[in-house]
């Protein structure tokens, strides 16, 4: 494996509330190589957005650490160096609320350039135009428009341009297309894949859409109630899903052709509700919904086991070699 660009080690983020501690992210670890797209997939409340926000420095982890090029970046953005903030950027889910409605697109894109002292005056305008061209929006038409006068897909392209303004190497995409129609999503995804190749970007792609990840990610990680249940390279992941939750997710996807239907695992009929992250079931947090539950599942939290090179599962069905029968 090449030197990882980003690594999470025992990353944990708890939020104390009146009703108890929300264990949003609970001891997760992953490594990403340059040029990777890690698809972080999970349902609502699984902690995928909190993970992303720890990576960009919106939150500091409760315990654990995040390494960027081997250096610890666990602090919040306020304590991060500007250089680091230039390298790690984020695109949010809803471009309607992440773009300031009172500013023109030119002003929106000028902000990161000014903050990071990258360009000013005439050079700034040239950079902004180049950015807009990069996301396939003709500058002459879009420079002086306000966000509300352009479509949802175009807004998201502006948000992507803003993220790319500082020439980052790592971009967190937090459900960048889930608010958009599929025909617009297709356009944005192709744009993102093109930009990745062109600029050598590494993506942490947060989503709930498994079908999309099949086409976009190089690795897929499944999160459930703050923990990673399974990580594997995309092809391996979809050919040989192991965790019962992964199987349940895959079998729940509504698909549009018989060919895809045959790719879904037969087992794993969906049941049960997602428990509240304040009140996570003991043992394996998935045991209350699991179709292949064992006796130990509600007592002991399973360990993370590498069942094949790069394929990691956290489930008692796949005990590690050192564990034996517990």
Partner 1 sequence: MPNSSLLLEIRNLHVGFRIFEGHLRVLAGVALVVNEGERVGLVGETGCGKTTTVKSVLRVLPIPPARVAGGEILYRGRDVLRMHRHALHVLRRQELTAIFQDPLQSLNPVFTVGSQLRDIVRDSMRTPEGRALSRREIEARCIQALEETGMPDPDRIMSNYPIQLSGGMRQRVCIAEALSTTARLLLADEPTTNLDVTIQDQILRKLDRLVDQKGSSVLMITHSMGVVRDLTQRIYIMYAGSIVETGPTRQLLASPKHPYTQGLMASVPRLTGRGVSEGIPGRIPNYLEPPPGCRFHPRCPHRMPECSVEAPPMFDVGADQRAACYLYRRSSS
Q: Which is nearer to partner 1, 12 or 229 (CB)?
A: 229
Shortest Cβ distance from residue 303 to partner 1 (Å)? 25
CB-count exposure of residue 33 (10 Å: 0-12, 13-18, 19+): middle
What is the nearest approach in angstroms of partner 1 to the Cβ of residue 5? 24
Q: Is 51 exposed, middle or buried (0-12, 13-18, 19+ CB in 10 A)?
A: buried
Q: Residue by residue, what is the 3-state secondary structure of the chain?
A: CCCCCEEEEEEEEEEEECCEEEEEEEEEEEEECCCCEEEEECCCCCCHHHHHHHHHCCCCCCEEEEEECCEECCCCHHHCCHHHHHHEEEECCCHHHHCCCCCCHHHHHHHHHHHCCCCCHHHHHHHHHHHHHHCCCCHHHHCCCCHHHCCHHHHHHHHHHHHHCCCCCEEEEECCCCCCCHHHHHHHHHHHHHHHHHHCCEEEEEECCHHHHHHHCCEEEEEECCEEEEEEEHHHHHHCCCCHHHHHHHHHCCCCCHHHHCCCCCCCCCCCCCCCCCCCCCCCCCHHHCCCCCHHHHCCCCCCEEEECCEEECCCCCCCCCCCCC
Residue 245 CB, nearest distance to partner 1 (Å)? 9
> C-beta of 192: minimal distance to partner 1 in Å?
11
The smaller minimum CB distance to partner 1, of residues 74 and 241, is found at 241
* Comparison of 234 and 285: residue with beta carbon closer to partner 1: 234
Shortest reach from residue 205's CB to partner 1, in Å: 12
Report in angstroms how near the CB of residue 324 gets to partner 1 at its nearest.
32
Q: Which of 127/187 has CB closer to partner 1?
A: 187
Nearer to partner 1, 2 or 44 (CB): 44
Q: How far is the CB of 41 from partner 1 (least distance, A)?
A: 10
Which of 44, 325 has the CB closer to partner 1? 44
Among residues 44 and 322, whose Cβ is nearest to partner 1?
A: 44
How many angstroms separate the CA atoms of 53 and 172, rounded?
A: 9
User: Is-contact 186 211, C-beta < 8 A?
Assistant: no
Q: Where does this chain bind partner 1 (CB under 8 A)?
A: 43-44, 151-153, 181-190, 208-212, 214-216, 234-235, 238, 248-260, 263-264, 270-271, 273-274
Q: CB of residue 174 vs partner 1: minimum separation in angstroms?
A: 17
Judged by beta carbon, residue 47 or residue 64, the one nearer partner 1 is: 47
């Amino acid at each position: 494996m090449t030197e990882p660009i980003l690594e999470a080690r025992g990353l944990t983020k708890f939020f104390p509330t009146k009703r108890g501690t929300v264990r949003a992210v609970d001891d997760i670890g992953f490594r990403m190589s340059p040029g990777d797209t890690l698809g972080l997939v999970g349902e609502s409340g699984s902690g995928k957005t909190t993970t992303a926000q720890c990576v960009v420095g919106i939150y500091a982890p409760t315990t654990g650490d995040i390494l960027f090029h081997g250096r610890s970046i666990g602090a919040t953005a306020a304590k991060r160096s500007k250089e680091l903030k230039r390298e790690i950027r984020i695109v949010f889910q809803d471009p309607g609320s992440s773009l300031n409605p009172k500013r023109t697109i030119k002003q929106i894109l000028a902000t990161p350039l000014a903050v990071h002292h990258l360009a000013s005056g005439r050079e700034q305008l040239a950079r902004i135009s180049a950015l807009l061209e990069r996301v396939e929006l003709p500058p002459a038409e879009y420079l002086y428009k306000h966000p509300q006068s352009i479509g949802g897909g175009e807004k998201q392209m502006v948000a992507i341009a803003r993220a790319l303004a500082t020439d980052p190497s790592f971009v967190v995409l937090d459900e960048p297309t889930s608010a958009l129609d599929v025909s617009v999503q297709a356009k944005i995804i192709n744009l993102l894949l093109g930009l990745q190749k062109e600029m050598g970007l590494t993506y942490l792609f947060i989503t709930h859409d498994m079908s999309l990840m099949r086409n976009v990610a190089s690795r897929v990680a499944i999160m459930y109630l703050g923990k990673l249940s399974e990580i594997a390279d995309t092809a391996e992941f979809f050919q040989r899903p192991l965790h019962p939750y992964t199987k349940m997710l895959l079998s729940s996807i509504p698909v549009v052709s018989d060919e895809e239907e045959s790719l879904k695992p037969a087992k794993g009929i969906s049941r049960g509700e997602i428990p509240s992250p304040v009140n996570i079931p003991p043992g394996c947090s998935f045991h209350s919904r699991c179709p292949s539950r064992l006796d130990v599942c509600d007592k002991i939290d399973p360990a993370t086991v590498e069942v094949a090179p790069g394929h990691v599962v956290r489930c008692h069905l796949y005990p590690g070699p050192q564990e034996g029968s517990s």
